[in-house]
Structure 1
Amino acid sequence: MSVEIREITDKKGLKKFITWHWSLYKGVEQFVPPMMEFEMSTMSKDKNPAYKHSKGRFWMAYKDGQPVGRIAGIIHGEESKATKHIRFGWIDFIDDMEVSKALIQTVEDWGNAEGLNKIHGPLGFTDLDFEGTLISGFNQLSTQATLYNYPYYQQHFEELGFEKAIDWTEGRIKVPLEDREFIEGMDRKAEIISKRYGLKIKEFKSGKETLKYAEDFFQLLNDTYSELYGYYKLTDEQVKYYIDSYFGFVQKDFILMVVDENDQLIGAAVTFPSLSKAFKKAKGRMYPFGFVHVLKSFYFNDTIDFFLVATKDAYKNKGVNALLWKRLLAACAKHGIEYIFSGQMLEDNSSVNNLWTKYESAKDEEIRRRCYTKSIV
């Protein structure tokens, strides 16, 4: 029987779109289901301000009456004008070339109708959404901010004519708290940088205090991420959306900020206790009981995940990261953290990747995700 593609047009359909792949990965230890509430917000035109300048459509594939795949098509306002690209994301499918081909063709047809001639993905509306196809590191538990997929995805994309656009890698390290020489060296370096440039580590009495710097932090992201693949500056509405979405969950000890003598933000990193195991226990739903597992993870955890990190251009390569790491290591010692996961790093972003090469790895296989691209025929 041929593949039938059905577009999602209502809330009930979106819920099925979000949850279908949970059954696809049932029993896969490394898969972490995203939270239903967050996914619904991202896909909702009423909540996600990305829809003010972008378009998003969602489809599911059926075969013999059963769901066998899903895909989102995204036309990013700025990107579509600048590069004639359409994005695909939230893609999952059974190991059937007919299914993956039908899904991609659906997005290509939409792009062609809109005058676009290239397709790339997996990507989301912004750089803060899920992106990349896992091509190595299948034995590693995904973080709450990264995707898991089966190894056959790579073969499907290549057979469909896609080529590599860019790769993201992850660093996973053991916290070197027992290496006194390393810790003392980091402290000395941080002290030198602090005195040389008049910088200091910001200490917070509560998570709410970090909100004072939240807008400055996202402005810092806009300034420093603008040259990265697929990144487009967040609007004021999007900044508020992400502040409301994420800063309400922050734990003060894991928000790292460096300011100058005028209390201006110079560098910052947002990290979270790992929520991967909590999300699995919650089975992708915050309510009615999932929040209990999430709350426990904030206080009883041995792993933290980097979410976002940025340094002002004028201070890059001047050792600001030493102050961030000094503060992070102190937080790890205080909370008994043993592992730090970097999150996704573009492979050509050497200033970030180099930070992780000096530490002992806590993984036994490289974690790499790929963005694919091709011309629309």
Structure 2
Amino acid sequence: MVEITEVKNEKELEEFVKFPFGLYKGSKYWVPPLINGEIKTFSPQHNPTLEFCDTCLIVARKDGRVQGRMALIINKRENEMLGQKKLRFGWLDFTDDGEVTQALFAYAQKWGAGYGMEYMEGPVGFCNLDKAAMLTWGFDELSNTTALYNYPYYPVHMEANGFEKCTQWIESEMKVPDRVPDKIRRFSSLLKEKYSLSTPDLSTKSAIRKYIPQVFDILNQTYSVLENFVPLTKGQQDFYAAQFMDIINPDYVSCVLDAEGNMIGFGVAIPYMASALQKAGGSLWPFGWYHLLKAHKHNDRVELLLIGVLPQWQRKGITALIFDEVMQKFIDNRIVYVESNPEQEKNTQVQLLWKDYESRRHKARWTFTKKLK
């Protein structure tokens, strides 16, 4: 028999956060998060998105042991702005036991229906900048810091419990060339001249900070056309900016300014931290900090974190200009591979970034949805 209980205290929260560390023990592909960071994610004192979310964390126990977990989230701001009644679910992990997943989803459906929700969708986080979508292909590829990893049996359980595929996400890996292609370089030069564009010096974090408000303004406008996107609040912007500033390398940040000095586009990549996080094992101590610091300074791989261009400047080649700037830094720093973060399949503008480079599509994932009875 499976027992479902709600997380009510710090001890149970720690148990919830640590469950996948046992589930994925020995996996070569799962990348563990930092435990303290995960715990803070569920704290209203640290995560401003919780100000407008109803949240319930549940664990499934069988034979006296935790066999599964799930976060149930009602983002009231999102639902009101989009005119929907959606129950988000995330932090979904479970053993390969049909009774466990059936019990988890039955509890979730009852909880969501009790709040008047009409359907559930996931795995997702509290908002659109959190990790999302279940891996459905590419299980033998190392995950990254901006994506979820799961065993191949996960999507099987989703379909067995009546879920349907909702939104597809894809990931690509690009090989960094020995030099920036001539046509990209020529095109970038022509763009700068034609539109009087410039790329400021962002070699320090202090130089980057003054552009953060414009980055989020562009982000909100760029992704407004994507499914279920809701603009970030000022509190959310500050929260995610602090997270990003901890991990970015100024060499891998580029932005484009118009003739008046206003930002019209940006791109951010981060050092690839997957192997370092595996060595850290969920903690900065005693040696996790060393592995992360080493990966930050010495790496042959990066993750493309965010890229955005104002709608009125899209389809004019601005992304090529952004890539031209940052690609040269990759070459100078001996980066061999660039890994994309999960991109919605419908986001064709981002996917065009890879067309002039040697690349492979190596992972796919879906979110799943189900009506609540």
TM-score range, shorter chain: over 0.9
Aligned to 1:55: 54
Residue 362 of structure 1: how far off its partner (Å):
5.1
Residue 233 of structure 1: how far off its partner (Å):
1.1
* Aligned counterpart in structure 2 of residue 234 of structure 1, from 232, 235, 240: 232
Q: Is the 1:339–1:362 contact (alpha carbons within 8 Å) kept by the matching residues of 2? A: no
* Aligned counterpart in structure 2 of residue 245 of structure 1, from 243, 246, 254: 243
Aligned to 2:195: 197
1:304 aligns with 2:281: no
Partner secondary structure for residue 124 of structure 1: coil
Partner secondary structure for residue 277 of structure 1: helix
1:368 aligns with 2:364: yes
Residue 25 of structure 1: how far off its partner (Å):
0.8
Residue 12 of structure 1: how far off its partner (Å):
2.0
TM-score (norm 1): 0.95
Q: Is the 1:88–1:123 contact (alpha carbons within 8 Å) kept by the matching residues of 2? A: yes
Residue 229 of structure 1: how far off its partner (Å):
2.4
What does 1:217-228 align with in structure 2 at a 5 Å threshold? 217-228=215-226
TM-score (norm 2): 0.96
Q: Residue type of the partner of 1:205?
A: S
Aligned to 1:110: 111
RMSD: 1.3
Residue 295 of structure 1: how far off its partner (Å):
0.7
Aligned to 1:83: 84
Aligned to 2:122: 121
Q: Which runs of 5+ in 2 are unaligned?
A: none
Q: Is the 2:203–2:251 contact (alpha carbons within 8 Å) kept by the matching residues of 1? A: no
Q: In 1, Cα distance between the equivalents of 2:133 and 2:351? A: 17
Partner secondary structure for residue 69 of structure 1: strand
Q: Residue type of the partner of 1:231?
A: F
Residue 183 of structure 1: how far off its partner (Å):
1.8
Residue 79 of structure 1: how far off its partner (Å):
3.2
Residue 52 of structure 1: how far off its partner (Å):
1.2
Q: In 2, Cα distance between the equivalents of 1:284 and 1:256? A: 30
Aligned to 2:153: 152
1:43 aligns with 2:42: yes
Q: Which moved more, 1:211-220 or 1:240-249?
A: 240-249
Q: In 2, Cα distance between the equivalents of 1:6 and 1:33? A: 24
Q: Residue type of the partner of 2:191?
A: I
Q: Residue type of the partner of 1:136?
A: W
1:21 aligns with 2:20: yes
Q: Which moved more, 1:65-74 or 1:45-54?
A: 45-54
Displaced runs of 4 or more, over 2 A: 78-81, 286-289
Q: In 2, Cα distance between the equivalents of 1:203 and 1:123? A: 36
Q: In 1, Cα distance between the equivalents of 2:286 and 2:299? A: 22
Q: Is the 2:320–2:353 contact (alpha carbons within 8 Å) kept by the matching residues of 1? A: no
Aligned to 1:96: 97
Q: In 2, Cα distance between the equivalents of 1:289 and 1:219? A: 38
Aligned to 1:31: 30
Query: Percent same amino acid at aligned positions?
Result: 35
Partner secondary structure for residue 268 of structure 1: strand
Residue 135 of structure 1: how far off its partner (Å):
0.2
CA offset digits 1:338-374 (Å, max 9, x no partner): 00011111001111112224422256xx300100011
Q: In 1, Cα distance between the equivalents of 2:331 and 2:98? A: 49
Aligned to 2:176: 175
Q: Is the 2:202–2:254 contact (alpha carbons within 8 Å) kept by the matching residues of 1? A: no
Aligned to 2:319: 321
Q: Is the 1:80–1:86 contact (alpha carbons within 8 Å) kept by the matching residues of 2? A: no
Residue 202 of structure 1: how far off its partner (Å):
2.1
Q: In 2, Cα distance between the equivalents of 1:261 and 1:23? A: 54
Q: In 2, Cα distance between the equivalents of 1:56 and 1:264? A: 39
Partner secondary structure for residue 138 of structure 1: coil
Q: Is the 1:173–1:359 contact (alpha carbons within 8 Å) kept by the matching residues of 2? A: yes
Q: Residue type of the partner of 1:147?
A: L
* Aligned counterpart in structure 1 of residue 337 of structure 2, from 336, 339, 345: 339
Q: Residue type of the partner of 2:145?
A: Q
Q: Is the 2:169–2:366 contact (alpha carbons within 8 Å) kept by the matching residues of 1? A: yes
Q: In 2, Cα distance between the equivalents of 1:261 and 1:177? A: 32
Partner secondary structure for residue 210 of structure 2: helix
Aligned to 1:7: 6
Q: Is the 2:267–2:306 contact (alpha carbons within 8 Å) kept by the matching residues of 1? A: yes
Q: Which moved more, 1:75-84 or 1:184-193?
A: 75-84
Residue 122 of structure 1: how far off its partner (Å):
0.4
Q: Which runs of 5+ in 1 are unaligned?
A: none
Partner secondary structure for residue 231 of structure 2: coil
Q: In 1, Cα distance between the equivalents of 2:184 and 2:124? A: 36
Q: In 2, Cα distance between the equivalents of 1:48 and 1:203? A: 31
Q: Is the 1:121–1:132 contact (alpha carbons within 8 Å) kept by the matching residues of 2? A: yes
